[in-house]
Amino acid sequence: MKKTIALTLAAAFIAASAISTPSRAQDAGKVDFEKQILPVLKESCFKCHEKEHEENGKVKKPKGGLRLDGAAVIMKGGKEYPNENVVAGKPEASWLVKTMELPESDDLAMPPEGKGDRISKANIDLIKKWITEGANFGAWKGVE
Ligand code: HEC
């Protein structure tokens, strides 16, 4: 009798967990670009990698031809590494994160030496995870 109850409970529990697993659970645990990565780029990269605009009467162009303020332009990449700024599934081929890992003395280290703090290891790992998971921007499009 006791055994039956235990089994019934176990079955009920399994069924309940199956039901309480909505399709969105697929996304649970995945990195959320807009919430977790965009703030890092905004803080450390935007001042040099935004759409061409005027600042104090001067035209500011995105450095290296690279914009990081929109999903499409992030994928498009810059002058030297077009289509290799973010290579979905391949953080080791993605310059967005490779430049963050270069030693500060390297010419391509981002942000450039003296132009901002290094990106934390935790945030670099998060960006790598996001790229490994397929570099999904969700609903975020950013500036076109
Ligand atoms: C103070 C300005 C400045 C900041 C801040 C900055 N960059 Fe850059 N970035 C540059 C310049 C200048 C170049 C062009 C370098 C060159 O051609 O040697 C560049 C080039 C790049 C490139 C190469 C693009 C290509 O395909 O040619 C990448 C990738 C990059 N930056 C990523 C970043 C990331 C990621 C951040 C934030 C962590 C960042 N940058 C912050 C100035 C900046």
Provide the pLDDT for residue 38. Answer: 98
At 35-47, the pLDDT tens digits run: 999 999 999 999 9
Check whether 25 has a pLDDT greater than 90. no
Spell out the domain ranges in the chain.
Answer: 28-132
- Burial (CB < 10 A; 0-12, 13-18, 19+), residue 70, is middle
Provide the pLDDT for residue 11. Answer: 60
Does residue 41 contact residue 110 with C-beta atoms inside 8 Å? no
Q: Report the nearest-CA residue for atom 11 of ligand 1.
A: 63
Predicted TM-score (pTM) of the model is 0.85
Q: What is the Å distance from ligand 1's center to 43 Cα?
A: 14
At 87-110, the pLDDT tens digits run: 999 999 999 999 999 999 999 999
Pocket of ligand 1 (CB under 6 A): 44-45, 47-49, 63-64, 66, 77-81, 85, 95-96, 99-100, 107-108, 110-112, 115-116, 119
Provide the pLDDT for residue 47. Answer: 96
